Amino acid sequence: MHKSNLVSTAVCIFALLMTTLVFGQSVTEHNNLSYTSDLTDTLRQINLIVAEDVSQAPLLIWIGGGAWSYVNRHMEMELCRKIAAEGITVASVGHRLSPQLLREPHRVEGVRHPAHIEDLAQAFAWLHAHAEEYGYDTASIFVGGFSSGAHLSTLLISDYKYLEGVGHSVADVAGIIPIGGAFDIIHYRDILTAAVPAYLENHIHAVFGESDASQMDASPSQFIAHIKTPMLVISDTNTYKYNKHFEEQLKEAEFALADVLHVGSLSHGELWKDIGAENSRYRSVIVNYIRSLQNTP
């Protein structure tokens, strides 16, 4: 495991790793909550796990991974339940999906960027509006995700137009926790297609469009000068190169509110399994990062 800090840090990663978590907080699940007016749309829904008996609990908006094409909010529930048991309300958010060409070449139906991030912004607005109903604190809303969800959580706070389009601003986000993501789609494209040229058509173009302009528009790295939100960026052995590239871009921009944790012992899939497992040291990092930044009366 390699730990790295940028310019200055919001928290001490080592201290977060050494903290022992205590499970057992009572939670209540509210599944399949629609965040759009189309109640028949089963993708644009939220599974909300409310931490009970916690006054003004922080909220973690969580976006699962799946290459923007296979995301399933239900598959994130073990992780979300364990975080909620720590007194943090968690929303597992679904969004519209891109064509599933990586596995099924004939599954051409689906959306492209910016549909995914527009959905996330809508989900954010819905959750912010329903905070009083479910008892969490709008001053302590965090956004995190794994893989493609890491990318979306970062794009939400770097390109202001999505939150502004739903009547909010990046100031409404207390912090983000992107895990195992890619942040510069051109860089991501070039690495992937150098190894597997077919990824250009069945993945990059299917998700982000054919033009460099559309791919750059989907890149949080294009908006680094705008970033003001604290972040905890975590990578694995497969995504280290993408995260290291982003870390260097943040350093160049002298961004002072990022903590970076490189998990050199786990692959992409292994890290996802780990954070949802019992007694995960890396889930403890997530929980304690939220605790360190949550609004305190």
Give the separation between CA 294 and CA 83, rounded to whole angstroms.
14
- DSSP H/E element including 130: none
* pLDDT score recorded for residue 10: 36
pLDDT band per the 50, 70, 90 thresholds, residue 141:
very high
Query: Which of 120, 37, 46, 54 shows the shortest CA–CA distance to 89?
Result: 54
Per residue in 28-79, pLDDT (tens digit) is 999 999 999 999 999 999 999 999 889 899 999 999 999 999 999 999 999 9
Asked if 46 and 126 count as a contact pair (C-beta separation under 8 A), the reply is: yes
The residues that bridge with 27 in the sheet, in sequence order, are 51
Per residue in 157-204, pLDDT (tens digit) is 999 999 999 999 999 999 999 999 999 999 999 999 999 999 999 999
* pLDDT score recorded for residue 17: 42
* DSSP state letters, 65-101: -STTTS--GGGGHHHHHHHHTTT-EEEEE-------T
What is the third-level CATH fold of 2-293? Rossmann fold (3.40.50)
Pick the most confident of 5-19, 100-114, 257-271: 257-271
* pLDDT score recorded for residue 24: 65
Query: Which of 32, 37, 36, 64 shows the shortest CA–CA distance to 48?
Result: 32
Which residues lie closer than 8 Å to 219 by C-beta, 6 or more apart? Answer: 155, 183, 184, 185, 186
pTM for the whole structure: 0.92
Domain edges within the chain: 2-293
